[in-house]
Structure 1
């Protein structure tokens, strides 16, 4: 069994204020023995982290204190040649174990963001993949992660209010397509629509359906998953897919 959590953020006056408030929520989830926690894409004021090691030192300490994996969101990473959008993964020892780059920059991001080229698997409390926001639109990203062995997909996102309904549809379809639970978190403020969701799967009379839990306001939640229960269904689904030429 693995307990996975989401934190839905609001707007904060500064990075310092946001990190301080969210650290309290991370501590609450840690006390509840949550194994993995994810935050939204670009939820901090400047949408970028200039000194990751320094600004997220408290998150790293909390990860180690509670043996918890933290995906603190996805942010701009600037270099001399280009910008990228990355989701760092802080492992249960309190160290960064890797980064997932955004593979499909959205709209205005295409002007200055270099696309990522690899969908990575991280292995801490379980094997999981990170899908950053707009990457959820493209079936190949979720499918590639599931075929590489991901047992659950986690998505830091930043979705405007008018995009919430299609976003929820994409997340549920990706879960059904790949027979895999997905947890997707969003920012909630005057522009972005919140409604972070946990999509679980249930089967009745050989019909697979989704079970959706939504978040409201600045909040956190965690759900326990028996990830082994999806494996046979996923294996069957991929076997059927492989029969197509």
Structure 2
């Protein structure tokens, strides 16, 4: 069994206050032996991160203390004059082990960032992929990650209230299409609609359905997954896919 979790955040006056409050939740999840935790996209007041080590020093310490992998969200990063939205990964030894770039910029982001070119696989407590917000809309991202061997997908997101219903549909469909659990974290405040989701799958007489756990307010939640149980139904789903024009 693998215990995976996510955190839904609310608005705070400063980044320092936000990180302090989220750190408390991370410690609770760590004490509950949660192995991987995902946070939303751009949940800090200043969403431009220039020094990952400094900004997330406390998260790195928590990751090391609890041997936990932390995906602290997704934020703007500028290097050599080029900006992108990236989701860094803090490994269970308290060090950054990689990052996933946002592949599909949304709306105004197209004029600000360079799109990512690769859907990457990370391996700590399990093999996982990271889908940043708008990337969930495009089936190829989730399918590529699942085909590469991801056992679960984690999605830092920032979805406005009017977009919650289609977002929930996209997340469930990606889980069903690829026979893979998904944990999708969102921000909850006056503009963004919360409803962070843990999407598990059930099978009954060859029919697969989703089982959804939602979050309210600023909180963390974890769920135990038997990730091996999905392998056979995922293999069967992919083998049923035919090439056509």
Aligned pair 1:29/2:29, yes or no? yes
Runs of 4 or more, structure 1, over 3 Å off, are: none
Q: Aligned partners of 1:197 and 1:74: how far apart in 2?
A: 17
Q: Aligned partners of 2:146 and 2:193: how far apart in 1?
A: 28
Deviates more, 1:44-53 or 1:19-28: 44-53
Aligned pair 1:56/2:76, yes or no? no
Pairs within 5 Å for 1:75-86? 75-86=75-86
**Residue 98 of structure 1, CA deviation:** 0.2
Unmatched 5+ residue regions in structure 1? none
CA-to-aligned-CA distance 1:3-45 (integer Å, 9 cap, x gap):
0001000001111111111000000000000000000000000
Q: Aligned partners of 1:45 and 1:195: how far apart in 2?
A: 20
CA-to-aligned-CA distance 1:101-124 (integer Å, 9 cap, x gap):
000000000001100000000000
Q: Aligned partners of 1:48 and 1:225: how far apart in 2?
A: 34
SS of 1:108 mapped into structure 2: helix
Corresponding position of 1:244? 243
Aligned pair 1:123/2:119, yes or no? no
Corresponding position of 1:162? 162
User: TM-score, with normalisation over the residues of structure 2?
Assistant: 0.98
Q: Aligned partners of 1:79 and 1:57: how far apart in 2?
A: 20
Pairs within 5 Å for 1:166-205? 166-205=166-205
Q: Aligned partners of 1:119 and 1:161: how far apart in 2?
A: 27
Corresponding position of 1:143? 143
Corresponding position of 1:230? 230
SS of 1:99 mapped into structure 2: strand
Q: Aligned partners of 2:11 and 2:122: how far apart in 1?
A: 29
Q: Aligned partners of 2:209 and 2:199: how far apart in 1?
A: 10
Q: Aligned partners of 1:221 and 1:34: how far apart in 2?
A: 9
**Residue 80 of structure 1, CA deviation:** 3.6
CA-to-aligned-CA distance 1:149-189 (integer Å, 9 cap, x gap):
00000000000000000000000000000000000000000
Corresponding position of 2:42? 42
Corresponding position of 2:66? 66
Q: Aligned partners of 1:50 and 1:19: how far apart in 2?
A: 16
SS of 2:21 mapped into structure 1: helix
Unmatched 5+ residue regions in structure 2? none
Q: How many residues are aligned here? A: 244
SS of 1:49 mapped into structure 2: coil
User: TM-score, with normalisation over the residues of structure 1?
Assistant: 0.98
Q: Aligned partners of 2:106 and 2:38: how far apart in 1?
A: 21
